[in-house]
Every structure is written in structure tokens, then in C-alpha cells.
Structure 1
Amino acid sequence: MAELDGSKTLSALLKGIAQCNYFNNPDISEEMLQRELYPQLPPHEFRSLLEKMRGVLKSIVSADMDLNQLEAFLTAQTKKQGGITADQATVIAKFWKNHKTDIRDSLITQSRWEHSLKTINWRVDLKARSRHMDHGNTPVAIAEIELGKNEQASEFLCLEFDETKINHILKKLSEVEESITALTHAS
């Protein structure tokens, strides 16, 4: 029964570390984690456990480990002097399997500095001739773009391109594609 309680407590500690380090939850502090989860441990022992678990989690998160990498890493950690126990490795593996996607998504969201493309819709319209315009019946491409950042309100752009502008954009995109191809084949 004590082992089960230890697993639950360690799992809660890992969740607390994730909330603090990866989800920027200001309500989680080192003192709160010790008070709620490990009140019987002296502060220096708790700090040592906390730093060990932070280090292990940081290694796992920064490598974005898949299950095979995780298993190899945790096995190595159990064999290392001053490493983790097999029971701790089991809890860490379960934690990572359950929280990998959320942690990864949070880090991606936090790493965006600028707006990102949310949606793009496009269509081709035909401008009709009128008495105020000499030319008519010319196709135009219309792109409606939604840009946004995290949970902020989106911005919408509506762009109109004639055939000349579309050809120019396509040429530039081809140049970008060629540059990327050259870079990826050079390395």
C-alpha cells in the first residue's frame, strides 16, 4: 500500500513540476509541493528529489522522446548511481505517456512570437465590365486569411490578386522551393 501511495505522490509531483515549468501555473510553488505532497521529508531531501525529477523531465521533454527512447533513457537512469528507482521509472513513463501531447503543445504555443496562420480561404472571381472601367471580364484571385496568436482575437486579411500578381507569387514560391531543396540536399 505504501508503494501505491508513493507512486501517486510522485505522479502528483511530476504534474506539479509540469504545471510550474511547462504550463506557467503561478499557483504551484516548491513550498506548496512539499507541504502538500512530502510534508515528512526534510527540505533538503525534498529539494534533491524535486531537482532530480525536474532534470529527468527536462531531458525527456527537450528530446521529445518516443516510447522506445523513453524506455532506454529510464533504464539508463535506473542503472546510474544516484539515479532513479525502477518504481520511479514506471511512474515517469506513465506520466509521459499521458501528458506528452499537452506539454508539447504548450511549449509550441509559448514559443510563438508572432501571429500564425489559422485559416486561409481563396476563390477566383471574374470582374465584370462596367461603364466606369475600360477592361472587364478579368479573373482575380481573392484570399481571405485569418491570423492569430494563442487565445487572442484573430485578425483577418482580404487580398486581391490579378493574373500578373499571381504569376509573380508563383515564381517567388518556386524560388523558395528551389532554395529549400538545395539546402536539404546539401546537408
Structure 2
Amino acid sequence: MAAATAEQPPPAEAAKPLQGLLNGIAQATYYGNTEITEELLRDQLYSETAPQEFRVLLAKMTGIVKSIASADMDSNQLEAFLTAQTKKPGGITSDQAAVIAKFWKNHRVKIRESLINQSKWENSLKNISWRVDLQSESRHISQLNSPVAIVEMELGKNGQESEFLTVEFDEIKLNQMLKKLSEIEDSIASLTQAS
């Protein structure tokens, strides 16, 4: 095996700038890091590269990452996609494909979660807890010591402060809610069996 010359770094060293570039693209595009700029990436990773040449590389890698992420590619799809990219004119090298595959393996779950969170318009249910209490005060004596279900829900978006909603159900309201939930469950079951 030939030793690496000073002109050509060993494969692991040559892959580091591309790994950094892909991480920078993920930070800027999917993780909301506004400090990552084209200039920063070029200065830190490809300072010897001409600005126009770097822009072409950045656009190519950004396009590849976006294609992979939007399709949420599994390993077989990724391998086929990267193989096609290595064979097309102006595509990527097999070394670059290996770095991209490693990057996607490490970032797939986090990028997928980021895309899901970015696509939510409304708040979602983050947490729910409940308990049953006995009513100790009431305007009507008949309601004393009757069970009351208290449901606490945490609503919000990731990265934002949550809102808390507390709902109290007496036995009648709780039974009505359970009946409605049962009807919804039956409707969903009938729809899924029909298809």
C-alpha cells in the first residue's frame, strides 16, 4: 500500500471538509442555526477553493441532502441514489458518496424530526396526565364526595413555551367522553378495514 503524498491527503483527511460541509448544511437548513453562512463554511473548510467553485460544490451538496431528506431515504434507496449521482456527468465521486452515506446514517432521524416539526402549523399535544379526586366542596350536597376526573394537557410546539389546559369531568361527562372516543375508535377501525 502506497503512503499518501503531501499533495494528496489520506482519504480520511480528504473527507473531513466534506463532512463539515454536510454538517453545516444540516445545521443551517434543518436545525435552525443562523450562524452558519456560506462564507463561514468556505473560510473554515475550503479556504483554498475559489468562491465560485465553492458555491457550485455547496449548491450540489445542498441539493443532494435536500433530495435525500425529502424522500427520507432508507439505506437501499440511498445507495441507488448515490450510485446514480456518481455516474452522471458533473456528479459526485465515490469517496463523496461514502461521506454522504455516513452523514445520512448519522443525521437521518434528527433531520426527519426537524422536517416534521417545521411542517406543523398548530400546537400539538406534548404531554397528558390525569387523576381522580373526590369533590369536597359543592353547591349541592349530592355532589359531595363524588369522583371527579382532572385531565391536564400540555400543548405547544417544540422550541416554544407550552400552554397548559386543565379539564374537569364528573362521572356523567366522563362517560359521555368515553362513549365518543369509543365511537371514534369504531369509525377508524371500520375505515381501515374497508381499505
**Which TM-score band applies after superposition, normalised by the shorter structure?**
0.7 to 0.9
2:154 is aligned with 1:146: yes
Which residue in the other structure is 1:6 paired with?
Answer: 14
Kindly tell me: are residues 78 and 134 of structure 1, through their superposed partners in 2, closer, same or farther at Cα, counting changes over 3 Å? same
The 5-angstrom pairing of residues 73-88 of structure 1 reads 73-88=81-96
Identity of counterpart residues, as a percentage?
A: 63
Q: How far does residue 87 in structure 1 lie from its aligned partner after superposition?
A: 0.2
Kindly tell me: are residues 21 and 129 of structure 1, through their superposed partners in 2, closer, same or farther at Cα, counting changes over 3 Å? closer
Q: Unaligned regions of 5+ residues in structure 2, if any? A: none
Q: Unaligned regions of 5+ residues in structure 1, if any? A: none
Which residue in the other structure is 1:30 paired with?
Answer: 38
The 5-angstrom pairing of residues 112-151 of structure 1 reads 112-127=120-135, 132-151=140-159
Q: How far does residue 162 in structure 1 lie from its aligned partner after superposition?
A: 1.8
Q: How far does residue 66 in structure 1 lie from its aligned partner after superposition?
A: 2.0
Q: How far does residue 23 in structure 1 lie from its aligned partner after superposition?
A: 1.5
What TM-score, normalized by structure 1, do the two folds share? 0.84
**In 2, Cα distance between equivalents of 1:77 and 1:44:** 21
The farther-off stretch of 167-176 and 17-26 is 167-176
**In 1, Cα distance between equivalents of 2:142 and 2:33:** 62
The 5-angstrom pairing of residues 35-50 of structure 1 reads 35-50=43-58
**In 2, Cα distance between equivalents of 1:38 and 1:128:** 71
Which residue in the other structure is 2:164 paired with?
Answer: 156
Kindly tell me: are residues 38 and 131 of structure 1, through their superposed partners in 2, closer, same or farther at Cα, counting changes over 3 Å? closer
**In 2, Cα distance between equivalents of 1:39 and 1:128:** 73
2:113 is aligned with 1:108: no
The farther-off stretch of 9-18 and 74-83 is 74-83
**In 2, Cα distance between equivalents of 1:125 and 1:182:** 36
2:61 is aligned with 1:53: yes
What TM-score, normalized by structure 2, do the two folds share? 0.81
Aligned residues: 187
**In 2, Cα distance between equivalents of 1:79 and 1:66:** 20
Kindly tell me: are residues 60 and 134 of structure 1, through their superposed partners in 2, closer, same or farther at Cα, counting changes over 3 Å? same
The farther-off stretch of 98-107 and 177-186 is 177-186
Query: Which of residues 38, 62, 65 in structure 1 aligns to 2:70?
Result: 62
Q: What is the RMSD computed on CA atoms of the aligned residues?
A: 2.4
The farther-off stretch of 85-94 and 15-24 is 15-24
Q: How far does residue 165 in structure 1 lie from its aligned partner after superposition?
A: 1.5
Which residue in the other structure is 1:20 paired with?
Answer: 28
